[in-house]
């Protein structure tokens, strides 16, 4: 059994995840908590957020995120990959700035429109 | 002098939601004054996600959350002036502001919404002893340097305070290649959200020292080391527990202060418990037609609740402009009961209650299975069950008009107490 704090939303439910019975989860207030508990035990993932260099905009950085979760152990490697990304203004929310980050199959997209 | 129906001071999440609701409430002559060069406020530097789960039922980053409101606002006729600093507001609602295009201007309004947000407590506010070297930042200042200006603030970092901004910055600094040596918290519990302790500290193996504080800062020009000591239950450092961290950066995440200089100067009554204005059930301050919402009123944990509160302030401002002042009549005053540190709104006009009043408050310690009671004198008019409460998590209850009508006295007391499991 593993005790977890659910990070899906700010409620922070205290979960108990049991490896037996095909991964049973208790303590969750919503179905997303059950999914989180299972994933956290078997295949922990996170959404990476950060910034990339922005040229020609009013500010120096463009905020970005992975459009879906990536494996937790790839977080630092993916964050380093963002250092090599350059974006030219104008940029729009949702524009892909880096495809398939670190072979995860997940794209990195802008999260702010900067004209 | 240009006259508006409504002037909103501040274009962050509170100001955006208030202006939007006032527009939807029928006002067509609204001005937002924002001192930064873009709308969105502090959300623009909060590049992490976790915003909007209540409001939009999805997990957004700060800029995305702000972007939703900015997009909605662009479909309205609300006028926005950025780079505009408000200098004063008179009780007659004359707003004096300055910006690079218009110079110094005065505009007046039938109603004003105060949405200036808050600022961080600094080293001076908590009196950390030691050298006055560089390398000491508030967490939010470091966040702005990194996420907006593109300047890295340091390489070896200690964080004092485990509020959410401090936790978020522990992760952010780590992802940007810095080494975060420790997060140090004076209290025996973190004031940040549980999820942030997990995904910002535990994910990266950053130790959290509860009941510890920084007792010395050493460095000639740049910070060289900080001394951290354990504290006793009276929060006094325990001699002999000192440990030294070699670091070039100290981030302070030690609380937020509502930014109410304009509010005070206008003569609005301030609640010493919140450092925000005293408001009625509709977010109206003691100055008729002037409303307050968001972090300038009370420091929130979740932007979703800022938007909700500010939406109500916007609706109330529209009602004030269209229908005139709220009717007089019986009023109730909310007071702290045991373990409650404040309650907002502070006052309720029974004529204005309608379906009910949402009351926000905080408790002063961690609770397990517990109950929140609302009493008028000895008479209990409402009781709410809770599984868990903590000072870092704002609580919310809805008091229906029917129950409020049961109050026999002119004060209501909000209390928290443990219940047997």
Is the Cβ pair B59, A47 closer than 8 Å?
Answer: yes
pLDDT tens column, A39-57: 888 889 999 999 999 999 9
Q: Which residue has the higher pLDDT, B263 or B193?
A: B263
Q: How far is CA B111 from the centre of its chain?
A: 22
Mean pLDDT of chain B: 95
The strand pair at B30-33 and B79-81 is best described as parallel
Residue that the structure tokens 């009910």 belong to: B356
The overall longest dimension of chain B from CA atoms, in Å, is 66
CA neighbours closer than 13 Å in the CB half-sphere of residue A65: 21
Cα–Cα separations (whole angstroms), residue B91 to B264, B291, B294, B327: 11, 12, 21, 20
- Positions of E strands within B100-187: 103-114, 118-120, 136-138, 156-160, 179-184
Distance (Å, whole) CA A37 – CA A97: 31
DSSP 8-state assignment for residue B370: E
Is the Cβ pair B146, A59 closer than 8 Å?
Answer: no
CA neighbours closer than 13 Å in the CB half-sphere of residue B374: 29
Q: Is residue B264 predicted with pLDDT exceeding 90?
A: yes
pLDDT tens column, A30-42: 898 898 888 888 8
Phi, psi of A12 (to 5 degrees): 65, 50
Chain A stretch 12-51, residues whose beta carbon is closer than 8 A to a beta carbon of chain B: 12, 14, 46-51
**What is the pLDDT, as a whole number, of residue A7?**
80
The strand pair at B49-51 and B331-336 is best described as unpaired
Distance (Å, whole) CA A6 – CA A27: 9
Q: Is residue B421 predicted with pLDDT exceeding 70?
A: no
**What is the pLDDT, as a whole number, of residue B191?**
81
Answer left, alpha or beta for residue B254, where phi above 0 means left and psi between -120 and 50 means alpha: alpha
B198 touches chain A (CB under 8 A): yes
pLDDT tens column, B331-381: 999 999 999 999 999 999 999 998 899 999 999 998 989 999 999 999 999
**What is the pLDDT, as a whole number, of residue B193?**
81
Chain A stretch 66-105, residues whose beta carbon is closer than 8 A to a beta carbon of chain B: 72, 75-76, 79-80, 93
In sequence order, the 6+-apart residues with CB closer than 8 A to the CB of B89 are: B9, B95, B96, B112, B114, B262, B265, B266, B290
Q: Read off the pLDDT of each residue in B214-218 and give the average, rounded to a whole number.
A: 97
In sequence order, the 6+-apart residues with CB closer than 8 A to the CB of B71 are: none
Alpha-helical (H) ranges within B85-187 are 123-126, 139-144, 164-175
B61 touches chain A (CB under 8 A): yes
Q: Which of A58, A79, A112 sits opposite B63 (nearest CB)?
A: A112
Q: Is residue B395 predicted with pLDDT exceeding 80?
A: yes
**What is the pLDDT, as a whole number, of residue B91?**
94
Exposure pattern of B302-334 as b/e (b: 16+ CB <10 Å)?
bbbbbbbbbbbbbbbbbbbbeeeebeeeeebeb
In sequence order, the 6+-apart residues with CB closer than 8 A to the CB of B410 are: B330, B331, B332, B333
B232 touches chain A (CB under 8 A): no
**What is the pLDDT, as a whole number, of residue B222?**
98
- Residue B43: band (very low, low, confident or very high) from pLDDT cuts 50, 70, 90: very high
**What is the pLDDT, as a whole number, of residue B32?**
98
Distance (Å, whole) CA B63 – CA B42: 9
**What is the pLDDT, as a whole number, of residue A42?**
86
Q: How far is CA B266 from the centre of its chain?
A: 21
> Is B7 in contact with B107 (CB distance < 8 Å)?
yes
> Is B39 in contact with B70 (CB distance < 8 Å)?
yes
Q: Which of A47, A61, A93 sits opposite B49 (nearest CB)?
A: A47
Q: Is residue B21 predicted with pLDDT exceeding 90?
A: yes
Q: Is residue A5 predicted with pLDDT exceeding 90?
A: no
pLDDT tens column, B287-341: 999 999 999 999 998 999 999 999 999 999 999 999 999 988 999 999 999 999 9
- Output the CA angle B274-B278-B280, nearest 5 degrees: 130
- DSSP state letters, A7-30: -SSTT--EEEEESHHHHEEES-SS
Distance (Å, whole) CA B91 – CA B319: 19
């Amino acid at each position: 059994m593993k005790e977890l704090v659910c990070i899906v939303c700010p409620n922070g439910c205290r979960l108990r995840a049991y490896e037996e019975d095909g991964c049973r989860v208790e303590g969750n207030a919503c179905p997303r908590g059950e999914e989180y508990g299972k994933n956290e035990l078997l295949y922990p993932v996170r959404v990476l957020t950060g910034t990339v260099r922005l040229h020609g905009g009013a500010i120096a950085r463009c905020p970005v995120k992975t459009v879906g979760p990536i494996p937790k152990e790839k977080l630092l490697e993916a964050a380093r990959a963002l250092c090599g990304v350059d974006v030219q203004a104008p940029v729009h929310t949702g524009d892909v700035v880096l495809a398939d980050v670190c072979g995860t199959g997940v794209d990195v997209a802008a999260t702010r429109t900067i004209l | 002098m240009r006259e508006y129906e409504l002037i909103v001071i501040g274009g962050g999440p509170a100001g955006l939601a208030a202006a939007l609701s006032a527009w939807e409430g029928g006002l067509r002559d609204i001005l937002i004054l924002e001192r930064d060069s873009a709308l969105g406020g502090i959300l623009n530097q909060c590049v992490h996600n976790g915003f909007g789960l209540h409001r939009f039922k999805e997990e957004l980053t700060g800029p995305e959350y702000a972007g939703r409101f900015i997009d909605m606002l662009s479909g309205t006729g609300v006028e926005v002036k950025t780079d505009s600093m408000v200098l004063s507001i008179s009780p007659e609602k004359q707003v004096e502001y300055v910006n690079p295009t218009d110079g110094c201007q005065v505009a007046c309004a039938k109603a004003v919404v105060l949405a200036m947000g808050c600022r961080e407590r600094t080293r001076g506010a908590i009196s950390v002893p030691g050298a006055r070297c560089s390398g000491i930042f508030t967490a939010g200042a470091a966040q702005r340097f990194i996420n907006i200006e593109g300047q890295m603030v340091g390489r070896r970092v200690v964080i004092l305070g485990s509020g959410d901004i401090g936790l978020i910055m522990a992760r952010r600094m780590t992802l940007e290649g810095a080494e975060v040596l420790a997060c140090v918290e004076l209290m025996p519990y973190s004031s940040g959200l549980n999820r942030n302790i997990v995904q910002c500290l535990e994910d990266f193996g950053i130790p959290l020292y509860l009941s510890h504080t920084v007792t010395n800062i050493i460095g000639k020009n740049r910070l060289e080391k900080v001394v951290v000591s354990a504290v006793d239950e009276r929060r006094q450092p325990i001699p002999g527990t000192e440990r030294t961290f070699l670091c070039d950066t100290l981030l302070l995440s030690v609380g937020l202060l509502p930014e109410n200089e304009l509010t005070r100067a206008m003569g609005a009554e301030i609640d010493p418990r919140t450092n925000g204005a005293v408001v009625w059930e509709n977010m109206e301050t003691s100055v008729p037609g002037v409303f307050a919402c968001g972090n300038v009123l009370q420091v929130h944990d979740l932007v979703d609740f800022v938007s909700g509160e500010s939406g109500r302030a916007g609706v109330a401002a529209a009602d004030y402009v269209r229908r005139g002042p709220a009717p007089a009549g019986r009023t109730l005053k909310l007071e702290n009961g045991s373990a409650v540190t404040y309650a907002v709104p502070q006052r309720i006009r029974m004529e204005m209650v309608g379906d009910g009043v949402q009351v926000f408050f905080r408790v002063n310690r961690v609770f397990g299975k517990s109950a929140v009671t609302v009493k008028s004198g000895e008479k209990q008019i409402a009781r709410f069950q809770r599984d868990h409460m903590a000072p870092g998590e704002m609580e919310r209850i809805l008091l229906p008009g029917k129950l409020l009508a049961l109050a026999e006295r002119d004060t209501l007391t909000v209390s928290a107490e443990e219940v047997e499991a």
